[in-house]
Amino acid sequence: MPIAVTILGNSSAKPTATGHPSAQVVNINEQLFLVDAGEGVQRQMARCGISPLKLRAVFISHLHGDHMFGLFPLLSTLGLYGRRTPLKIYAPRPFGEALEGFLRIFESDLPYTPEWVEVDTTKHQIIFENDTTEVWSLPLRHRIPTAGYLFKQKQPALNVTKYAIERYGLDMHQIVAAKRGEDITLSSGEVIANDLLTYRPYPPMSYAYCSDTNYSARLAKMVEGVDMLYHEATYCAAERKTAKMRGHSTTADAAKVAQMAGAGRLLIGHFSSRYKELEPLLAECREIFPASDIARERETFVIEEKRIKK
Amino acid sequence: MPIAVTILGNSSAKPTATGHPSAQVVNINEQLFLVDAGEGVQRQMARCGISPLKLRAVFISHLHGDHMFGLFPLLSTLGLYGRRTPLKIYAPRPFGEALEGFLRIFESDLPYTPEWVEVDTTKHQIIFENDTTEVWSLPLRHRIPTAGYLFKQKQPALNVTKYAIERYGLDMHQIVAAKRGEDITLSSGEVIANDLLTYRPYPPMSYAYCSDTNYSARLAKMVEGVDMLYHEATYCAAERKTAKMRGHSTTADAAKVAQMAGAGRLLIGHFSSRYKELEPLLAECREIFPASDIARERETFVIEEKRIKK
């Protein structure tokens, strides 16, 4: 099952006539997660054909407006659409205070409950987990408490090889037992080790969202081996000082993190409104890390599974 | 000096891929006023080439999200752009509470002060006034306290006719006195009544914004003789019951108010997302009030002054 990331916005704080602030939808194991929610996020979802009712949870990196002013309008719309199931929103403090004020003043009778889950932006730890998926928090270095998010597929269930089924004439019970990881005793009494019978259909995949942040070698370590990395690149390489001062990264910073992490590919975004042309920014990244791309709005970037045939 | 109204959004609450929620910019006597501020208002202003820094004041009709979720992002952007002059925001209670929470959580150090002016939605009275302009509140009938706004030019200063200047050989002092409305005593001792010397260059013009509201005959009286009336028409004429129940108007309601008020022209907006085609709604209005138009997004509607030549 691939991981697909749809970019809803890639601009930084200053609004432009063409761009939208940070927001993306991560589809992992057929679950939709909204990551950041800049102004206009619900309209961008509509333009990308993504139903807001399908959202499983929301992850907010930090409480700057360009990463969340679109969230409250979206919560209202989910009410209009009659959502009933609670919606978990993972965000740093003091998000709860903002949510409480919004509900009290604007939406005192929503048909569902938005539930705040506090994210500790100082810890790299699992904050969401189910049978197929893990989400880890990533401490980032910005002007206010900020977390990135690492989405990881769990190990897929074992498959039994056709070869083994025929070779040993396995029956249903034996196949199910083998899928559970057990060795199999044949009627002859012969015991076949599980690893001779089974294989993992595909290696688990991962995606990391890192915005907003200064360059961080520690971050590179935390996302080591990630298949796709989104890393902000607000400024061009020459603007190192401005980036450092503003709690942001340059193209070179983003590319270095991707390189150190051994990422499969890099997406850059959160561009300053001063850049009318993005190609030069991309070129700077590719000098250091060739597998770089611009996280263009309304484009979907897919991590194809490396299926193992047996 | 004409009055120009630029429509930034004409949709009701449910967002669509194409439309924006209520917002418009009223240019009266070269002062820009923002009237309602649905999500995306600042991007729509950019697309219409209107600088947010030029805003003189903001008028919010009521505290439903589709009329104000774009305001706080706009206030943040004005900070980024370095606005220094305070910005008055006219809105009903409990806007102050929402503003206070926004400033505390998101913008503790804006370089300017957004100042809330409470609007009493039960009273029809002057809430803004300067040398050239008056703004009156209009009590509307919605589900929550809601005010419309009536923008009125004041009487322009008197002009002295060329004829009088030549006929009586008026000097500068006499012309200035005549402009003040005084009668003029000639050197011969003859007294010339002011109305033989002067005229008003143009009749003052007016614009009324009425959204959201049930049909109201009282409202029609309050906007009597208005040159241009914006009146919501969320539903088609057949949906009278739904409109009444939801605190909204039909096309027929809007047209009737325009007719009773003797308005110069009618603009309809705040359309329900169920209507993909707006022409049928317009046709319903024109049956009752021919001078009706759809308040199309990013169109500017101008009330041309009826200049009096002398």
Q: Which residues of A are catalytic?
A: 66
Query: Residues A45, A163: one domain?
Result: no
pLDDT of residue B50: 96
In chain B, the residue whose alpha carbon lies closest to the alpha carbon of A66 is: B73
Last residue of a domain, one of A173, A198, A223: A198
Q: How far is CA A51 from CA A30, A42, A88, A204, in A?
A: 13, 9, 17, 26
pLDDT of residue A125: 98
Domain with A114 in it? 3-156+200-303
**Which residues of chain B have a CB within 8 Å of the CB of A45?**
none
Using the 8-state DSSP alphabet, how is residue A17 labeled? Answer: S
pLDDT of residue A209: 98
pLDDT of residue B308: 62
Domain assignment present for residue A11? The answer is yes
Domain assignment present for residue A137? The answer is yes
Query: Residues A166, A145: one domain?
Result: no
* Six-digit token string for B83: 């606005």
Domain assignment present for residue A309? The answer is no
**Helix (H/G/I), strand (E/B), else coil: B309:** coil
Query: Residues B87, B180: one domain?
Result: no
- Residue pair A72/A60 in contact by the 8 Å Cβ criterion: no
Using the 8-state DSSP alphabet, how is residue B155 labeled? Answer: P
Query: Residues B135, B78: one domain?
Result: yes
Query: Residues B35, B118: one domain?
Result: yes
Q: Which residues contact A229 (CB under 8 A, 6 or more apart)?
A: A207, A208, A210, A223, A257, A258, A261, A263, A265, A266, A267
Tell me the pLDDT of chain A averaged across its residues: 95
Question: Are the Cβ atoms of A43 and B17 closer than 8 angstroms?
Answer: yes
**Helix (H/G/I), strand (E/B), else coil: B229:** strand
Q: How far is B69 from chain A (nearest CA, A)?
A: 7
pLDDT of residue B15: 76
- Number of residues written out for chain A: 310
Q: Which of B36, B66, B212, B253 is catalytic?
A: B66
Domain assignment present for residue A73? The answer is yes
Q: How far is A6 from chain B (nearest CA, A)?
A: 16
B17 touching chain A per CB within 8 A: yes
Burial of B245 (0-12, 13-18, 19+ CB in 10 A): exposed
R_g over Cα of chain B: 22
Question: Are the Cβ atoms of B39 and A97 closer than 8 angstroms?
Answer: no
Q: How far is A198 from chain B (nearest CA, A)?
A: 48
Task: Provide the 10 A C-beta neighbour count for residue A241.
Answer: 10
Query: Using CB atoms, which residue from A15, A43, A101 is nearest to B15?
Result: A43
ipTM value: 0.87
- The pLDDT profile of chain B, 310 residues, written as one tens digit per residue, is 789 999 999 999 887 778 899 999 999 999 999 999 999 999 999 999 999 999 999 999 999 999 999 999 999 999 999 999 999 999 999 999 999 999 999 999 999 999 999 999 999 999 999 999 999 999 999 999 999 999 999 988 899 999 999 999 999 999 999 999 999 999 999 999 999 999 998 889 999 999 999 999 999 999 999 999 999 999 999 999 999 999 999 999 999 999 999 999 999 999 999 999 999 999 999 999 999 999 999 999 999 877 665 5
**Which residues of chain B have a CB within 8 Å of the CB of A46?**
15-17
Nearest CA to B35 out of B303, B243, B232 is that of B232
Query: Residues B29, B72: one domain?
Result: yes
Query: Residues B13, B141: one domain?
Result: yes
- Residue pair A15/B39 in contact by the 8 Å Cβ criterion: no
Question: Are the Cβ atoms of B69 and A63 closer than 8 angstroms?
Answer: no
Max Cα–Cα distance, chain A, nearest Å: 75
pTM: 0.90
pLDDT of residue B17: 78
Question: Mean pLDDT throughout A234-252?
Answer: 98
- Considering its fold, how many domains does chain A have in total? 2
Question: Are the Cβ atoms of B43 and A15 closer than 8 angstroms?
Answer: yes
Domain assignment present for residue B145? The answer is yes
Q: For this structure, is B253 an active site residue?
A: no
Angle between helix axes B279-288 and B251-261 (nearest 10 degrees) is: 40
Chains A, B: CB contacts within 8 A come to 85
Residue B264 amino acid letter: G
- Give the domain CATH number at B252: 3.60.15.10
Query: Residues B165, B19: one domain?
Result: no
Bridge-partner residues for A5, per DSSP? A26, A301
Task: Tell me whether the omega of the peptide bond preceding residue A212 falls within 30 degrees of 0, making it cis.
Answer: yes
Q: How far is A97 from chain B (nearest CA, A)?
A: 8
Bridge-partner residues for B136, per DSSP? B126, B150
Question: Are the Cβ atoms of A101 and B98 closer than 8 angstroms?
Answer: yes
Q: How confident is the model at residue A18 (pLDDT cuts 50, 70, 90)?
A: confident
Last residue of a domain, one of B175, B198, B221: B198
pLDDT of residue A143: 96
pLDDT of residue A310: 58
